[in-house]
């Protein structure tokens, strides 16, 4: 075929014929488009995101969602951790209107920050989550975080452990790795632990190990730090945090601190520091503990200002109920409250109860290993058995009908409920159940219950499979309703 335009141009127009107009296109309006360019964090208290508004000003608020994920791709499995709406009137960090055409950068604050979450190491920022456009690749920017775990045992350890450290420390280190921690430092100072005053010397050494571990990781990936210290090891942990010379990636990370029965070797702490048996050997143990602490004169463990969040688990169990603690002669107690820098949240859990001790058959570190460590892969976990709650719902329409007991407690704990007639000490088992993963428990009785009976509930956690010893939390009176 020839050129149609030439053929039309060579044709003779007849008188009166309508001349054809050249084709025209209407001017189109291209909508504004948002593309996320990059995301990072300066201190794990918020997320800084760079984005571009193309074609035209947005003309509406921009919604940014922050998520944790196992991958850098946004999908239904992402866990929301924060959101922010950028209004049309907002300005970016350069002082320019934040929704007009151009490149911008803003910081989204996150309530509670971005704590370690080893199984969800990616932090995602998503533009306009909840809309179909949210799944587009250019609507997501992400970065990955790493996690270093540190475990510090206490003082006066058996010298047979000086090569490998205490068995519980090795076990916990392996568990943290299984939970997704990128590196774990099981700090071993057993050889020095028997010498009074040695704890303070460990702080700079541990700080150096932490700094080096962070330097070995990718410089563009923020590094979270979780330090777990037991007994006099809390002194070491506190000093190490104070002595850090962190590389930039460690400065960007979240710092979580866990104290297990904090106990400095020093006599300056107000209040009772231990329980001893009512015997001659118990009195001798008291004298030896006091003398060692006087020689050591440790500084008190503190929650340093560079810590983002802290938990303190402690017990004050009398030696008569602290199974396996130092031959039944003495049981050290956690020194609480712990001094803390202003603004740092500190959560306390009182584990005092029959069967738990500082370092006996079922020490505070055993309780933490059983109840908390298995949950750390999904982020910080804090369980307080003294938070046990219980309710008793009795039918008002059918007095002889069964009733329901329910409440909250530590996930995995066993809940026992007893009936105790008022004015008596006799308790009859009513029922038993296991607390679910969300910390809830409930069961319905097979026989009627009464408002005239006093009901008691307590939570217990098995120390380890095959052991008969249990830790029993404080009993809670169940109020009928």
Give me the residue label for tokens 């922010």.
Answer: 84
DSSP reduced 3-state for 298: coil
**Are 33-144 and 386-480 in the same CATH fold?**
yes
Please count the residues of the chain.
Answer: 481
User: SS3 for 261?
Assistant: coil
Q: What is the CATH number of domain 146-381?
A: 3.40.50
Answer whether residue 442 shows pLDDT above 50.
yes
Contact 108, 125 (CB under 8 A): yes
Q: In the predicted model, what is the mean pLDDT of residues 109-135?
A: 95
- b (16+ CB within 10 A) / e for 208-221: eebbebbeebeeeb
| pLDDT tens sequence across 45-58 | 999 999 999 999 99
- How far apart CA 220 and CA 56 sit, in angstroms, is 33
Return the pLDDT at 340. 98
pLDDT at 178: 98
Under 8 Å between Cβ of 180 and 118: yes
Contacts of 387 by beta carbon, 8 Å cutoff, 6+ apart: 408, 409, 410
pLDDT of residue 154: 98
Quickly list H helices, 382-438.
none
Does residue 200 surpass a pLDDT of 80? Answer: yes
pTM of the predicted protein model: 0.83
Rounded average pLDDT over 462-471: 44
Instruction: Tell me the two tokens of residue 281.
Output: 């050997």
Beta strand residue intervals within 161-222, DSSP E: 183-187
Distance from C-alpha of 56 to C-alpha of 33, rounded to nearest angstrom:
8
- pLDDT band at 474, cuts 50/70/90? low
pLDDT, position 277: 97
Give the Cβ contact number of residue 135 at 10 Å: 14
pLDDT tens digits for 393-418?
766 566 667 788 888 887 777 788 88
Q: What is the DSSP letter of 406?
A: E
Ordered by start, the domain boundaries in the chain are 33-144, 146-381, 386-480
pLDDT in tens, 239-252: 999 999 999 999 99
The pLDDT mean for the chain works out to 88
Second-level CATH architecture of 386-480: Sandwich (2.60)
Q: What is the pLDDT of residue 370?
A: 84
Over 70: is that where the pLDDT of 295 sits? yes
Architecture of the domain made up of 33-144: Sandwich (2.60)
d(CA 294, CA 266): 6
- pLDDT at position 300 is 96
476 versus 223: the higher-pLDDT residue is 223
* pLDDT confidence of residue 329: 97
């Amino acid at each position: 075929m020839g050129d149609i335009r030439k053929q039309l141009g060579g044709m003779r127009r007849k008188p009166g014929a309508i001349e054809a107009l050249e084709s025209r296109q209407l001017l189109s309006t291209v909508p504004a488009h948002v593309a996320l360019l990059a995301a990072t964090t300066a201190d794990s208290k918020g997320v800084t995101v760079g984005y571009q508004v193309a074609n035209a000003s947005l003309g509406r608020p921009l919604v940014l969602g922050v998520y944790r994920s196992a991958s850098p791709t946004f999908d239904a499995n992402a866990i929301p951790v924060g959101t922010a709406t950028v209004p049309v009137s907002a300005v970016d960090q350069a002082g320019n209107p934040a929704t007009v055409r151009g490149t911008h950068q803003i910081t989204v604050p996150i309530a509670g920050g971005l704590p370690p979450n080893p199984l969800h190491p990616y932090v995602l920022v998503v533009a306009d989550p909840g809309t179909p456009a949210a799944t587009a690749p250019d609507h997501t920017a992400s970065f990955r975080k790493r996690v270093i775990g540190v475990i510090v045992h206490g003082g006066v350890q058996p010298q047979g452990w000086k090569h490998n450290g205490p068995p519980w420390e090795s076990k916990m280190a392996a568990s943290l790795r299984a939970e997704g921690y990128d590196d774990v430092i099981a700090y071993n100072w057993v050889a020095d632990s028997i010498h009074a005053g040695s704890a303070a010397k460990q702080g700079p050494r541990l700080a150096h190990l932490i700094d080096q571990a962070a330097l070995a990781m990718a410089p563009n990936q923020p590094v979270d730090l979780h330090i777990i210290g037991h007994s006099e090891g809390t002194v070491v942990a506190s000093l190490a945090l104070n002595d850090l010379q962190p590389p930039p990636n460690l400065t960007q990370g979240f710092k979580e601190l866990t104290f297990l029965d904090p106990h400095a070797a020093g006599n300056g702490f107000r209040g009772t520091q231990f329980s001893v048996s009512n015997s001659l050997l118990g009195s001798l143990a008291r004298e030896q503990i006091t003398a060692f602490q006087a020689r050591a004169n440790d500084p008190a463990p503190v929650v340093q200002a560079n810590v983002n969040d802290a938990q303190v688990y402690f017990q004050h169990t009398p030696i008569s109920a602290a199974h396996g603690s130092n031959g039944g002669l003495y049981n050290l107690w956690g020194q609480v409250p712990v001094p803390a820098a202003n603004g740092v949240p500190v959560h306390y859990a009182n584990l005092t109860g029959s069967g738990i001790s500082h370092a006996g058959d079922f020490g505070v570190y055993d309780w933490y290993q059983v109840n908390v460590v298995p949950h750390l892969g999904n982020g910080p976990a804090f369980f307080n058995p003294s938070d046990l709650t219980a309710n008793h719902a009795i039918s008002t329409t059918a007095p002889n009908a069964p009733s329901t007991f329910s409440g909250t407690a530590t996930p995995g704990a066993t809940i026992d409920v007893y009936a105790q007639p008022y004015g008596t000490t006799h308790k009859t088992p009513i029922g038993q159940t296991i607390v679910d993963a969300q910390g809830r428990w409930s069961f319905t009785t097979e026989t009627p219950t009464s408002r005239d009976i006093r009901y008691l509930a307590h939570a217990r956690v098995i120390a380890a499979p095959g052991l008969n010893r249990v830790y029993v939390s404080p009993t809670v009176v169940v109020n009928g309703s």
